Amino acid sequence: MTTYHAATEAVLKLIQKVQREHHMELDGWKLEVVFRTEAARTKGKTVLGKARLVSGLNSYLAREGGNAFFVLELADDAWDALRESQREALIDHELCHFQIKTTEDGDEIPYLAPHDLEEFNDIVRRRGLWKPDLVAFAEAAQLPLFGKALDGWKIERSSNGDPGDRPIDKDLQGVAAGRRGEATEGAPA
Protein backbone atom coordinates (compact mmCIF):
# COMPACT_ATOMS: atom_id res chain seq x y z
CA MET A 1 0.00 0.00 0.00
CA THR A 2 1.23 3.44 -0.84
CA THR A 3 1.99 5.57 2.18
CA TYR A 4 3.25 9.15 2.49
CA HIS A 5 6.15 10.66 4.38
CA ALA A 6 8.06 13.91 4.63
CA ALA A 7 10.97 14.82 2.38
CA THR A 8 14.51 14.44 3.70
CA GLU A 9 16.68 17.45 4.52
CA ALA A 10 18.74 16.78 1.39
CA VAL A 11 15.67 16.98 -0.85
CA LEU A 12 14.44 20.14 0.85
CA LYS A 13 17.88 21.69 0.42
CA LEU A 14 17.82 20.86 -3.31
CA ILE A 15 14.37 22.42 -3.66
CA GLN A 16 15.51 25.55 -1.80
CA LYS A 17 18.54 25.81 -4.10
CA VAL A 18 16.45 25.56 -7.28
CA GLN A 19 13.86 27.97 -5.89
CA ARG A 20 16.54 30.53 -4.98
CA GLU A 21 18.13 30.25 -8.42
CA HIS A 22 15.07 30.23 -10.66
CA HIS A 23 11.82 30.72 -8.76
CA MET A 24 12.25 33.68 -6.46
CA GLU A 25 8.62 34.68 -7.06
CA LEU A 26 7.61 31.75 -4.85
CA ASP A 27 9.35 33.29 -1.89
CA GLY A 28 6.94 33.60 1.02
CA TRP A 29 4.40 31.16 -0.43
CA LYS A 30 3.69 27.93 1.38
CA LEU A 31 5.07 24.89 -0.41
CA GLU A 32 4.61 21.44 1.11
CA VAL A 33 6.76 18.57 -0.12
CA VAL A 34 5.51 15.04 0.33
CA PHE A 35 6.89 11.68 -0.77
CA ARG A 36 4.77 8.67 -1.62
CA THR A 37 6.41 5.26 -1.30
CA GLU A 38 5.38 4.11 -4.77
CA ALA A 39 5.00 6.25 -7.87
CA ALA A 40 1.57 6.38 -9.43
CA ARG A 41 1.10 5.29 -13.00
CA THR A 42 -0.93 7.23 -15.54
CA LYS A 43 -1.55 5.99 -19.08
CA GLY A 44 1.27 3.48 -18.82
CA LYS A 45 3.76 6.03 -17.52
CA THR A 46 5.37 6.28 -14.13
CA VAL A 47 4.48 9.59 -12.53
CA LEU A 48 7.78 11.20 -11.49
CA GLY A 49 6.21 14.12 -9.72
CA LYS A 50 2.98 15.92 -9.23
CA ALA A 51 2.35 19.60 -8.66
CA ARG A 52 -0.82 20.32 -6.72
CA LEU A 53 -2.65 23.36 -5.52
CA VAL A 54 -4.59 22.81 -2.32
CA SER A 55 -7.38 25.30 -1.79
CA GLY A 56 -10.87 25.73 -0.43
CA LEU A 57 -12.13 22.97 1.86
CA ASN A 58 -8.90 20.95 1.52
CA SER A 59 -6.90 23.94 2.68
CA TYR A 60 -9.31 24.42 5.55
CA LEU A 61 -8.99 20.77 6.54
CA ALA A 62 -5.20 21.15 6.38
CA ARG A 63 -5.56 23.91 8.97
CA GLU A 64 -4.60 26.61 6.48
CA GLY A 65 -7.87 28.43 6.86
CA GLY A 66 -8.86 28.12 3.22
CA ASN A 67 -5.72 29.87 1.94
CA ALA A 68 -4.41 28.12 -1.16
CA PHE A 69 -0.95 26.54 -0.98
CA PHE A 70 1.29 24.46 -3.21
CA VAL A 71 2.11 20.78 -2.76
CA LEU A 72 4.93 19.01 -4.53
CA GLU A 73 4.44 15.25 -4.52
CA LEU A 74 7.40 13.01 -5.30
CA ALA A 75 7.80 9.22 -5.13
CA ASP A 76 10.56 7.21 -3.45
CA ASP A 77 11.04 4.67 -6.25
CA ALA A 78 10.95 7.20 -9.10
CA TRP A 79 13.25 9.59 -7.20
CA ASP A 80 15.77 6.82 -6.49
CA ALA A 81 15.95 6.01 -10.20
CA LEU A 82 16.92 9.56 -11.19
CA ARG A 83 20.40 11.00 -11.46
CA GLU A 84 21.11 14.14 -9.45
CA SER A 85 20.86 16.35 -12.55
CA GLN A 86 17.50 14.79 -13.40
CA ARG A 87 16.24 15.32 -9.86
CA GLU A 88 17.15 18.98 -10.10
CA ALA A 89 15.46 19.24 -13.51
CA LEU A 90 12.32 17.57 -12.14
CA ILE A 91 12.22 20.01 -9.21
CA ASP A 92 12.77 22.95 -11.56
CA HIS A 93 9.98 21.64 -13.79
CA GLU A 94 7.50 21.20 -10.97
CA LEU A 95 8.28 24.66 -9.57
CA CYS A 96 7.42 26.09 -13.02
CA HIS A 97 3.85 24.86 -12.45
CA PHE A 98 3.64 26.99 -9.31
CA GLN A 99 2.75 30.53 -10.35
CA ILE A 100 1.28 33.65 -8.76
CA LYS A 101 -1.04 36.02 -10.58
CA THR A 102 -2.24 39.43 -9.47
CA THR A 103 -5.91 40.28 -9.90
CA GLU A 104 -7.27 43.70 -10.91
CA ASP A 105 -7.93 44.31 -7.22
CA GLY A 106 -4.27 43.68 -6.48
CA ASP A 107 -4.84 40.32 -4.80
CA GLU A 108 -2.17 37.70 -5.38
CA ILE A 109 -3.56 34.31 -6.35
CA PRO A 110 -1.48 31.12 -6.58
CA TYR A 111 -2.29 28.87 -9.52
CA LEU A 112 -0.90 25.93 -11.49
CA ALA A 113 0.53 26.82 -14.89
CA PRO A 114 0.11 24.33 -17.75
CA HIS A 115 3.06 23.15 -19.86
CA ASP A 116 4.28 25.48 -22.60
CA LEU A 117 3.97 22.70 -25.11
CA GLU A 118 1.85 19.65 -25.73
CA GLU A 119 2.28 17.75 -28.97
CA PHE A 120 2.58 14.24 -30.41
CA ASN A 121 6.01 12.96 -31.48
CA ASP A 122 4.37 11.62 -34.65
CA ILE A 123 3.09 15.06 -35.60
CA VAL A 124 6.50 16.68 -35.16
CA ARG A 125 8.02 13.82 -37.15
CA ARG A 126 5.54 14.33 -39.99
CA ARG A 127 4.84 18.07 -39.83
CA GLY A 128 7.93 19.62 -38.27
CA LEU A 129 7.68 22.76 -36.16
CA TRP A 130 4.29 23.78 -37.51
CA LYS A 131 3.24 26.21 -34.78
CA PRO A 132 4.96 28.91 -32.73
CA ASP A 133 5.07 27.03 -29.41
CA LEU A 134 6.93 24.17 -31.11
CA VAL A 135 9.45 26.62 -32.56
CA ALA A 136 9.90 28.21 -29.13
CA PHE A 137 10.42 24.78 -27.58
CA ALA A 138 13.03 23.78 -30.14
CA GLU A 139 14.80 27.10 -29.66
CA ALA A 140 14.77 26.62 -25.90
CA ALA A 141 16.35 23.20 -26.39
CA GLN A 142 18.91 24.84 -28.70
CA LEU A 143 18.22 22.16 -31.24
CA PRO A 144 19.83 22.94 -34.58
CA LEU A 145 17.16 23.70 -37.13
CA PHE A 146 17.72 22.43 -40.64
CA GLY A 147 15.81 24.06 -43.44
CA LYS A 148 14.79 27.67 -43.51
CA ALA A 149 11.19 27.34 -44.64
CA LEU A 150 8.76 28.02 -41.83
CA ASP A 151 6.38 25.41 -43.15
CA GLY A 152 8.89 22.62 -43.28
CA TRP A 153 11.33 22.85 -40.43
CA LYS A 154 12.86 19.61 -39.36
CA ILE A 155 14.47 18.91 -36.02
CA GLU A 156 17.69 16.99 -35.88
CA ARG A 157 20.11 16.63 -33.05
CA SER A 158 23.57 17.94 -33.69
CA SER A 159 25.92 15.01 -34.22
CA ASN A 160 28.61 16.71 -32.14
CA GLY A 161 26.20 17.71 -29.40
CA ASP A 162 26.80 15.85 -26.19
CA PRO A 163 23.52 14.34 -25.03
CA GLY A 164 25.08 13.95 -21.60
CA ASP A 165 24.77 17.71 -21.17
CA ARG A 166 21.02 17.56 -21.41
CA PRO A 167 19.38 18.35 -18.12
CA ILE A 168 16.74 15.70 -18.56
CA ASP A 169 16.31 12.63 -20.72
CA LYS A 170 13.97 12.71 -23.66
CA ASP A 171 11.79 10.07 -22.05
CA LEU A 172 11.34 12.25 -19.01
CA GLN A 173 9.47 14.99 -20.84
CA GLY A 174 6.45 15.65 -18.73
CA VAL A 175 2.86 14.91 -19.48
CA ALA A 176 0.04 16.95 -18.09
CA ALA A 177 -2.73 15.12 -16.38
CA GLY A 178 -5.11 17.77 -17.61
CA ARG A 179 -7.00 17.71 -14.36
CA ARG A 180 -7.78 20.81 -12.39
CA GLY A 181 -5.55 21.28 -9.40
CA GLU A 182 -2.70 19.04 -10.42
CA ALA A 183 -0.05 18.47 -13.04
CA THR A 184 2.04 15.35 -13.37
CA GLU A 185 5.34 14.36 -14.89
CA GLY A 186 5.47 10.92 -16.44
CA ALA A 187 8.22 8.69 -17.76
CA PRO A 188 7.64 5.56 -19.82
CA ALA A 189 8.01 2.47 -17.70
Instruction: Name the residue nearer to Zn ion (CB basis): 35 or 153.
Output: 35
CB of 93 to Zn ion, least distance (A): 5
Instruction: Name the residue nearer to Zn ion (CB basis): 136 or 150.
Output: 136
CB of 146 to Zn ion, least distance (A): 29
Q: Report the 3 state secondary structure along the chain.
A: CCCEEECCHHHHHHHHHHHHHHCHHHCCCCEEEEEECCCCEECCEEEEEEEEEECHHHHHHCCCCCCCEEEEEEEHHHHHCCCHHHHHHHHHHHHHHEEEEECCCCCEEEEECCCCCCCCHHHHHHHCCCCHHHHHHHHHCCCCEECCCHHHCEECCCCCCCHHHCCCCHHHCCCCCCCCCEEEEEEEC
Instruction: Name the residue nearer to Zn ion (CB basis): 47 or 138.
Output: 47
CB of 149 to Zn ion, least distance (A): 32
Instruction: Name the residue nearer to Zn ion (CB basis): 88 or 185.
Output: 185
Residue with smallest beta-carbon separation from Zn ion? 174
- Chain contacts with Zn ion (rule: CB under 5 A): 174, 183, 185
Instruction: Name the residue nearer to Zn ion (CB basis): 138 or 183.
Output: 183
Amino acid identity, position 189: A
**Residues facing 51 on adjacent strands:** 72, 183
CB of 104 to Zn ion, least distance (A): 28
CB of 114 to Zn ion, least distance (A): 8
